[in-house]
Amino acid sequence: MSIEDQPGYARWQAANEALQKAAERRDKASEAEKAAALQNYYRAQEEYDAAVDALGLDGA
């Protein structure tokens, strides 16, 4: 079964996109916005990590 056919693939794909967007916002944030941008990035990273774990990609 290809990775795209795995049940958790859609979750991983969405989490990956959210993580990339959060990283961009974090990198472009002003000092006043930095704390909120970092919190959003950390939440996105947690969801991405959970999606990777669900797909069993942590050792890939």
Predicted confidence at residue 56, as pLDDT, reads 83
List Cβ neighbours of 12 (8 Å cut-off, separation of 6 or more).
48, 51, 52, 54, 55, 57
Q: Where are the domains of the chain?
A: 7-55
Tens of pLDDT, residues 25-45: 999 988 888 889 999 999 999
CA atoms within 13 A on the CB side of 27: 6
Tens of pLDDT, residues 5-28: 888 899 999 999 999 999 999 999
